[in-house]
Every structure is written in structure tokens, then in C-alpha cells.
Amino acid sequence: MLLLTKKYSPYFLFILSSFFMLSCVKDVDFDQAETLKIESVVDVSLLYFDLQASQVGFIPNNDVNPYSVQDTTKLEIFSKPFLEENLKEATFDFEFLNSIPRIFNAKIVLYDNAYNELDEIEILVDSPKITNTTSYNETEIQKIKNMAYMGIELMLMPGAPMLDPNSSGELLLKSSGTFFMSIDAD
């Protein structure tokens, strides 16, 4: 706690008042609030699965007949009007980790509310690690704004070795979306 004696009190008041009288004050332009623009980046996890080789091994003749897995996920984030108004760009990242000694073909499909196909991303999983980045710029962003569902169809390509219920290995998919937003004060 600062104690001021009567001897120092007038000096303190003089210094304090000098500070306030000599300090600079910049004019505030309140019209700047109308031109305010906030840009942000939002990362969201999208699709994830872990397919075991032993599950594929239950499919008869999996060395010649393609095995297909399909799944569709509703993406609630795209039903918000905020996204419709402010989304400028988007990027989807897909990573496949494959320790099953077979090749897979993955097809990621973007659907609207009525399950109409908006876009399709095809990825051949022919090595232990496959990454894919798909971007949507301002001219293509309407596809993303209209998206309500994301689906995946996974197909085991014909070949060897034949998988059985005792086969080891897995196919793992991790994916995310990065959304670039621009929020205007207008």
C-alpha cells in the first residue's frame, strides 16, 4: 500500500495532472465498425472408421468379388445459416492407413438434404499410407454450403491374398475439414 505524506502529496498531484494534460488522445472513428471484417479458420473431424482384415475375411470369394462397405453421416454443421453466409473456402483432408495386403478403392460422396450427389472424391488406397487433400475455393464453395451428408463407399479390389476370418491388418480412415470463414459487420 502506498502511503503519501503531506510533504509529497503536492508533487504527486502535480505529476499526475501533468500526465493527464500532456497525454495524447486519438480521435475515435466510430464508422470503422461498419467496415469490420473478422476472418477465422475452423477445423472439424469428419469421417472415421477402422476396418479389420478379419471382417473382410468373412466375405466369400473376396479374392475375385469386390467387397463394398457403405456408410453415410449427417453433418449438422452445414445446416446452420451462419455457415451459409460466411463460408468462403473449405479443404477436406483424408488419411488412409492400410496394413491389409490388398488394394482398396474409396469413394467419398457429398450429398444435399435430398441425397442428390454434389461431388465425388475417389481415392485409390494402394500403399500403406495415402493422403488426399481436396479444396473448394470461392467458385466451388456452393457445393459445400449445400452439403448435408457425407458418404463413403469402400471397395476391396480383386486380387490376392485371399482374406479369411483369421487375417490380420486393418484399414483406418481419419478425415477432417478446414473451413475458412469471413464475417463482415454489414
Q: What is the mean pLDDT of residues 151-174?
A: 90
Give the residue, 26 or 129, on which the prediction is more confident.
Answer: 129
pLDDT in tens, 49-71: 898 988 876 766 666 667 678 88
Per-residue pLDDT band at 120 (split at 50, 70, 90) = very high
Q: Which domains does the chain have, with CATH numbers?
A: 55-184 (2.60.120)
All three cell numbers of 96 = 488412409
pTM of this prediction?
0.76
Give the residue, 38 or 143, on which the prediction is more confident.
Answer: 143
What does the pLDDT read at residue 1?
45
Q: How far is CA 179 from CA 42, 47, 134, 154, in A?
A: 5, 16, 12, 26
Residue 130 near residue 96, CB atoms below 8 Å:
yes
pLDDT in tens, 35-50: 667 788 889 888 898 9
Q: How far is CA 139 from CA 82, 142, 143, 170, 178, in A?
A: 19, 7, 9, 38, 17
